Structure 1
Amino acid sequence: MVHYYPYSFSSSDFPKYVLAVNETITDKNYGAWAQGTFIAQKPYRHPDTDPFSSHDFLHIEFKRSIKMSQLLVDPRWKKVIYRMWGFRRNKEKPNRSPVWKLLYVAPQSKEFATRPIKYFGSVTEIRFEFNRNFGIQCYELINFMNGELVFSIPPLDYDIPKNNWMKDEVPKLMSNMDPQEKPNTKSKGKNFFETLPTEAMYKIFNYLDLVSLSRCAQVNKRWNRIASDPLFYRDIDLKMYWTKLNSTTLKLLMKKFNRLRKLDMTVCNNPINYFGLFSEHFDIVLKRILQKSRKTLTHLCLNHTRFVNSEILDMIVACPNLQELRLQRPSVCSWTVDLSNLAMTKLKTLDVSRARITEEELIPILKNNPNLEYLSIDGCSQLGGPGRILETIVTYNRNLKAWSSWQTFQNQDNAQIYEDFGELLHLEELDLGFCEPRPYTNTCLEIIVLRCEKLKRLGLTNWNLMTDEQLLPILKEAKGLTQLNLAHMPKISASVLSQAVTSIPNLCLLDIRHCVGINKKIVEEYKKQYPNINIFHQKYLHV
């Protein structure tokens, strides 16, 4: 069983899964350049931010336990595979909680070699985390998994230390922050920190992550008082702690959420709850957090979470000061939101990619938030068409700066509807990947590039019926573009490449992957002539 997030593919027959470009190539968020877009999420809490942006992973479940000794990594994948985790259930002691253990971390050295895996006994699931700053794609992931990457071996005949991985358990650390307990004040030598003023201590502690704060709270009474201050728990990012986060830890943190502003629980699906072994009641704890922080919460991110339900959605839309809401692919079956509780009026960012949201739920939210600037509805298959949504935005959200409907309107048959984007004069990013209207008319895109003078990023992935004659006039007018995505356009030629690099002065990135009409040698020549432009070009690989 394979689960790859955020959406790219899911198959129980992997690696026999047949590659289908329209379904599996979802690489729009890969590469360091994607992190600089307006709609990309900014870190909520820098000390707890993954420096490698390892938000995507491949999860594999085995029918029987396996044992591993080393990981064989091809040199071109050395930087892409960042971490490897192992998950083990204890069948002999079923009441004991299963745990995730870190088995492998990518080396920093440049030389290639097989890397040993930390001994963990047998595992039933493994998870590979990918560094998304490198532009990988799904067909490459399939090539990666086709090899003898992980294999069963006999029990190891040598001893490997088992106590060198994460000695500090987050729940235990959090529970030890009880100020009623007597901290250990014994120290050797002079403690220079005791002479620091409280203001300096607050400044230092502000740079610590949550685990370090928990450790500091166990030093002495003064440190405990400072480390437990709610000021350090206004902005919370829990993605890094997905292996340890459970309802108990969340309850302990909730005691400090007196002024909570930002909360990110992306992929924090407790494995115990995810595999149905124990009920951890994430939803109950989250409801208490939302109820407690309803008036102070400004940013909320629950991407790829399995505990979001209709009751939680009702509480989210009742937060009056919410400015950023990200709900990518939640587990809720439908958005049965009670619109009478809709209190959000200050939204600037709304990301509901892959959510089962309909026009009836989306349009009232758009009408109620006139200051909306960034909207992402990628892969929202239950949205009928862009007509009503665009009419609402043109009327109520004229300050919109970024629109992304990647793979949402694949059967659009009215090109004139896209002309409404020309009314959004502040538009800077427009992603219409896999949203090609049929039949296509030149006027829709020409109106957009002529009227939207601030447009910097344009995505036209898989507009496979567009030809040179239709695209060249548009490129002549799009003088302000910095990023242009023309991937999966089989009918365009090198003339488009020449026009783009010569007529767009500020162009930084040009994506022409899988454009079979453009020769690789010509691309290499333009790369040498224009080194300031990142040109992505690669033809289809057969797996």
Structure 2
Amino acid sequence: MVRQDSNGYEQNSYIKKNKNPECMNLVPIRNGTSSSNNNSNNGSYWKVSRGLFVETDESPINRKLPKELLLKIFSWLDIVSLCRCAQVSKSWNNLALDGSNWQSVDFFQFQVDIDSYVVENLARRCGGFLKVLSLSGCQAVGDNALSTFAQHCNNIEKLNLQGCKKLTDRTCQSLAKHCHKLQVLDLSSCSAITDFSLKALGSSCQQLTSLNISWCVLLTSNGIFQLVEKCTELKYFTAKGCINFGNEALFHLARNCRNLEIVNLHSCKNIQDEGLIELSERCAKLRYICISNCNNLTDQSLIAIANNCINLQTFECAGLSQLTDAGFQALARSCHKLERMDLEECVLITDHTVTQLAFHCPYLESLSLSHCELITDEGIRHLGAASCASEFLTVLELDNCPLITDLSLHHLINCHNLQRIELYDCQLITRAGIRRLRNHLPNVRVHAYFAPVTPPPSANNSRQRFCRCCNLL
């Protein structure tokens, strides 16, 4: 289960959390008013009315500390702590539930508790204060709640709706109508979203810099065109599993969003070399590319990326069976800033690819070669002797590499920062080899599997022909 950061490194989430009833019935209130055109709440604090506190309040902390200072202290508390403070006294209730304390709210921890009315109450009480909201995994929230939210919280900048499966185009139309300051939007797994949503967002949310529409299977290339025609400032674009996207979607992105830095096209199976070549030629700032399971891509795509995206840091191409050493050689020789590479199931690559990466990519931190069955000890020898190995390499995955032996582990003893190595189904690796590696690298985590040893035959061959049950029968 993974959650997505602002950089687009995606992250899914449907773990059931423990309920916390004390937070569910409390919603923030505002002191003063805030409208979409009122910017006085940016970096400032609202004056607390002395009328909120009765003269008979003898609590020492209330008598000693100014109310403005208490409000500042409350601003550092999390949701649970604020709700608990709100139950202490009437004065603390007013302070804890003040809208200025609720500028950023993450309901992921309470996703099983959150219903539409909670979101509606939060929106009405917080109003223009709320700038960041995460409803990731809150599957009970529907269009009505988000419509109310959009009307009241028109200063929202970051909104995470991952996995809110009840949402439809109506939500995006409400956001487009009211939330013109929206910069980061996650709609992943909102499977009812269609091209109408992208058209609405494109027409009004022109400050959008990050968009995640993974697994929105109804979206097409036409929707991308309507989005990027005006949303030209996109930097982070994630569209995993959008099976209807083809080369046309990449053409529209490339021609309108020249500032793209992160593109995740995992499992967009209709994408071909022409689309990725266009994207790499026009978006030279790309530093993260994921094209895993885009099975139609060949070395032509790698060569285009190598020629244009010299700032590339992360490259994921798992499952691309047509890629060869020639493409990765070009990539390694041009993209010297590479830090993370996932080459799992690139079955045609050999030790030559590993050697080129070791020689030309001095900052390599993570490398996956799982199911690359042509990799041998010789390739790992070059990797272990490279400058990146001793300084930066922290993760190495070699699952199901049948030609790897204990000699490879010996070549890795100088990788002083190595934290994890995967060796599942490497049948030539032994326990003794792993012990020797750990003698040199005591902190490394080695994940391996050894089949149970077959018991030797009995010396006197006295084993019964039938079990006791058979004898009874």
Same structural fold, with TM-score higher than 0.5 when normalized by the shorter chain? yes
Residues 1:290 and 2:223 aligned together: no
For 1:358, the equivalent position in structure 2 comes to 272
Alpha-carbon deviation of 1:516? 1.4
Q: Deviations over 1:7-47 (max 9, x none)?
A: xxxxxxxxxxxxxxxxxxxxxxx7xxxx7xxxx941589xx
Residues 1:329 and 2:229 aligned together: no
Aligned pairs for 1:26-425 (under 5 A) are 41-43=4-6, 54-55=12-13, 82-83=15-16, 192=91, 201-207=99-105, 209=107, 214-218=120-124, 223-224=126-127, 226=129, 228-231=152-155, 233-242=156-165, 244-270=166-192, 282-293=194-205, 295-318=206-229, 319-332=231-244, 334-337=246-249, 339=251, 342-355=255-268, 356-383=270-297, 385-386=298-299, 388-408=300-320, 410-412=321-323, 414-420=324-330, 421-425=332-336
Task: Mark the CA change 1:337 to 1:529 in structure 2 (over 3 Å): closer, same or farther.
Answer: closer
Distance 1:506 1:299 in 2: 33
Distance 2:315 2:218 in 1: 28
The 3-state SS of whatever aligns with 2:185 is strand
Alpha-carbon deviation of 1:523? 3.4
The 3-state SS of whatever aligns with 2:102 is helix
Q: Whose helix proportion is higher, 1 or 2?
A: 2
For 1:518, the equivalent position in structure 2 comes to 429
Q: Deviations over 1:123-143 (max 9, x none)?
A: xxxxxxxxxxxxxxxxxxxxx
Task: Mark the CA change 1:196 to 1:44 in structure 2 (over 3 Å): closer, same or farther.
Answer: farther
Alpha-carbon deviation of 1:511? 1.2
Alpha-carbon deviation of 1:525? 6.8
Distance 1:320 1:253 in 2: 18
Distance 1:262 1:449 in 2: 36
Alpha-carbon deviation of 1:524? 6.0
Alpha-carbon deviation of 1:261? 0.7
Task: Mark the CA change 1:203 to 1:218 in structure 2 (over 3 Å): closer, same or farther.
Answer: closer
Alpha-carbon deviation of 1:167? 9.4
Residues 1:534 and 2:445 aligned together: yes
Alpha-carbon deviation of 1:494? 1.7
For 1:124, the equivalent position in structure 2 comes to none
Distance 2:261 2:379 in 1: 34
- Output the amino acid matched with 2:162: K
Q: Whose strand proportion is higher, 1 or 2?
A: 1
The 3-state SS of whatever aligns with 2:263 is strand
Distance 2:184 2:94 in 1: 33
Distance 2:285 2:208 in 1: 17
The 3-state SS of whatever aligns with 2:167 is coil
Alpha-carbon deviation of 1:358? 1.0
Given that 1:269 and 1:306 are in contact with CA atoms closer than 8 Å, whether structure 2 keeps it comes out as: yes
Specify the structure having the higher radius of gyration (Cα).
2
For 1:149, the equivalent position in structure 2 comes to none
The 3-state SS of whatever aligns with 1:239 is coil
Distance 2:433 2:250 in 1: 56
Residues 1:496 and 2:459 aligned together: no
Given that 1:523 and 1:537 are in contact with CA atoms closer than 8 Å, whether structure 2 keeps it comes out as: no
Given that 1:44 and 1:237 are in contact with CA atoms closer than 8 Å, whether structure 2 keeps it comes out as: no
Alpha-carbon deviation of 1:357? 0.8
Given that 2:375 and 2:401 are in contact with CA atoms closer than 8 Å, whether structure 1 keeps it comes out as: yes
Q: Deviations over 1:282-317 (max 9, x none)?
A: 432332122211x31100111111121121121344
Match of 1:447 among 337, 356, 376: 356
Alpha-carbon deviation of 1:230? 2.2
Given that 2:250 and 2:275 are in contact with CA atoms closer than 8 Å, whether structure 1 keeps it comes out as: no
Given that 2:163 and 2:189 are in contact with CA atoms closer than 8 Å, whether structure 1 keeps it comes out as: no
Task: Mark the CA change 1:334 to 1:444 in structure 2 (over 3 Å): closer, same or farther.
Answer: closer
Distance 2:194 2:179 in 1: 16
Task: Mark the CA change 1:316 to 1:532 in structure 2 (over 3 Å): closer, same or farther.
Answer: farther
Distance 1:248 1:340 in 2: 25
Distance 1:288 1:391 in 2: 37
Aligned pairs for 1:447-486 (under 5 A) are 447-477=356-386, 478-479=389-390, 480-486=392-398
Structure 2's unaligned 5+ residue stretches are 26-35, 37-51, 55-88, 108-113, 131-151, 453-473
- Moved beyond 6 Å, runs of 4+: none
Alpha-carbon deviation of 1:466? 2.2
- Output the amino acid matched with 2:398: L
Given that 1:354 and 1:377 are in contact with CA atoms closer than 8 Å, whether structure 2 keeps it comes out as: yes
Alpha-carbon deviation of 1:335? 3.6
Task: Mark the CA change 1:207 to 1:396 in structure 2 (over 3 Å): closer, same or farther.
Answer: same
- Output the amino acid matched with 1:389: S
For 2:67, the equivalent position in structure 1 comes to none
**Aligned-residue CA RMSD (Å):** 3.9
Given that 1:456 and 1:483 are in contact with CA atoms closer than 8 Å, whether structure 2 keeps it comes out as: yes
Alpha-carbon deviation of 1:529? 6.5
Distance 2:96 2:448 in 1: 57
Task: Mark the CA change 1:217 to 1:267 in structure 2 (over 3 Å): closer, same or farther.
Answer: closer
Distance 1:429 1:44 in 2: 15
Distance 2:339 2:290 in 1: 14
The 3-state SS of whatever aligns with 2:333 is helix
Percentage identity across aligned positions?
A: 18
The 3-state SS of whatever aligns with 1:503 is coil
Alpha-carbon deviation of 1:54? 4.3
Alpha-carbon deviation of 1:106? 8.0
- Output the amino acid matched with 1:324: Y
Task: Mark the CA change 1:217 to 1:445 in structure 2 (over 3 Å): closer, same or farther.
Answer: closer
Task: Mark the CA change 1:395 to 1:225 in structure 2 (over 3 Å): closer, same or farther.
Answer: closer
The 3-state SS of whatever aligns with 1:389 is helix
Given that 1:514 and 1:540 are in contact with CA atoms closer than 8 Å, whether structure 2 keeps it comes out as: no
- The alignment of Structure 1 onto Structure 2 pairs a total of residues equal to 357
Alpha-carbon deviation of 1:528? 7.4
For 2:28, the equivalent position in structure 1 comes to none
